[in-house]
Structure 1
């Protein structure tokens, strides 16, 4: 019916606007991260810090390295990308 068609159209519009909103929120979060001091640290330096932190434990437990890597990769998207781009810590 015409009413069902209109409801489907409105649902599609809601879905589109929700996607646009989520994209803008992600963009805003990214810009906010850039403004923070840690957000200005180059990825290469952050990678070296990750290596130092995760590999500095000398007790021989591999699970500590993986736990450290996992924790660092869940802080934010930038840290996740950096952690995944640093194969030495996996």
Structure 2
């Protein structure tokens, strides 16, 4: 290139043929790479399915499935009813609701949790203005059935919605109150 050499017609045809052959080989390589990438994705998806399948089988074989329902219920009570407010109804933070978390693990645990009113009878309300607060309070009140309830309400500098107050102060609810703590600095009812 630097010498200023320019191929003549015959040489130009040879170089052109070499370029065409190289381009054909490059296109074939690209096509094969795409095919192998597609195959790799398929194999990866199959691998993930097999891993999930194996995890499911391992879960079924887990020693916790050998525990009697009564013992599992005692463990759940320790976790969910250890203190008032173990279940903290907070803005979209389900990690603070062990009763709900346990009910989502498997169908067996769901069945056990939903039939144990004690697990639903102790809760704290930390987010009065969240849209999900009222429905969660109603869920806890309904599933606690006639079991005595322990409630803690943190109403710092906020407004307590009337419908939430109505749910908590119905005759059915107030007759079951065992312990109620309301922390208020400045609160209004809307």
TM-score range, shorter chain: 0.5 to 0.7
CA deviations 1:48-69 (Å, max 9, x no partner) are: 964x3224422x4726984353
Query: 2:24 aligns to what?
Result: none
Q: 2:83 aligns with which of 57, 67, 85?
A: 57
- How many residues are matched? 81
Q: 1:26 aligns with which of 52, 55, 67?
A: 52
Query: 1:12 aligns to what?
Result: 38
Over 3 Å counting, the alpha-carbon distance change for 1:66 and 1:20 in structure 2 is: closer
Unaligned runs of 5+ in 2: 1-26, 115-119, 124-135, 137-190
Larger radius of gyration: 2
CA deviations 1:5-25 (Å, max 9, x no partner) are: 110000000010011011101
Over 3 Å counting, the alpha-carbon distance change for 1:55 and 1:36 in structure 2 is: same
Which of the two has greater helix per residue?
1
Over 3 Å counting, the alpha-carbon distance change for 1:55 and 1:21 in structure 2 is: same
CA deviations 1:24-65 (Å, max 9, x no partner) are: 011001101101122456xxxx68964x3224422x472698
Name the SS for the 2:83 alignment partner.
coil
Higher relative contact order structure (alpha carbons within 8 Å, sequence separation ≥ 6): 1
Matches within 5 A, 1:76-87: 80-82=104-106
Which of the two has greater strand per residue?
2
Does residue 67 of the first structure (1) align with residue 96 of the second (2)?
A: yes
Name the SS for the 1:27 alignment partner.
helix
The separation in 1 between residues aligned to 2:96 and 2:34, in whole angstroms, is 46
The separation in 1 between residues aligned to 2:103 and 2:56, in whole angstroms, is 12
Over 3 Å counting, the alpha-carbon distance change for 1:29 and 1:10 in structure 2 is: same
Q: TM-score normalized by structure 1?
A: 0.56
